[in-house]
């Protein structure tokens, strides 16, 4: 079954330093490799900051475009992994291995499989 692992975290007060990136990125690379090695990896990407987001809605046939996210939340969606896990327990195991789970939250969302 396919699952989306949504990585939520509070944006830092200051951008990560080069040293912080040097510690964090190999952890994400290792996690991605683990997903590939276990046959679960289907895709994944980091997202630009929420300040670069655009929200689109349509009301009464009229398109409404606004800058930024729709919801005002403390934590922002920073990236995702699309995985193929045998069941929810396996997806939860994968989510617990996402490096960002140590300081943010990982939402595990099943994908609807249409016919």
Q: Cα dist. 56→51, 63, 76 in Å?
A: 15, 7, 18
d(CA 76, CA 92): 20
For residue 22, is it within any domain?
yes
Report the number of distinct structural domains present in the chain: 1
Decide which of 44 and 12 is more confident.
44
What pLDDT was estimated at residue 52? 86
Decide which of 71 and 45 is more confident.
45
For residue 91, is it within any domain?
yes
For residue 68, is it within any domain?
no
CATH assignment of the domain containing 45: 3.30.70.1060
Taking all residues of the chain, what is their mean pLDDT, rounded to a whole number? 91
For the segment 95-105, the average pLDDT, to the nearest whole number, is 94
Residue 92 burial by Cβ neighbours in a 10 Å radius (0-12, 13-18, 19+)? middle
For residue 62, is it within any domain?
no
Place 70 in a pLDDT band, splitting at 50, 70 and 90: low
Percent of the chain with pLDDT over 70: 96
Q: Which domain holds residue 10?
A: 2-50+76-110
What pLDDT was estimated at residue 45? 95
């Amino acid at each position: 079954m396919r699952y989306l692992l949504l990585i939520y975290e509070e944006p830092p007060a200051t951008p990560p330093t080069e040293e912080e990136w040097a510690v964090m990125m190999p952890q994400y690379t290792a996690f991605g490799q683990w997903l590939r090695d276990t046959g679960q990896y289907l895709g994944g990407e980091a997202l630009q900051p929420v300040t670069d987001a655009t929200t689109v809605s349509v009301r009464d046939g009229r398109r409404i475009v606004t800058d930024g996210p729709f919801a005002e939340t403390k934590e922002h969606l920073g990236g995702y992994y699309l995985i193929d896990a045998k069941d929810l327990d396996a997806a939860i195991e994968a989510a617990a291995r996402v490096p960002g789970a140590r300081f943010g939250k990982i939402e595990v969302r099943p994908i609807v499989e249409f016919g």
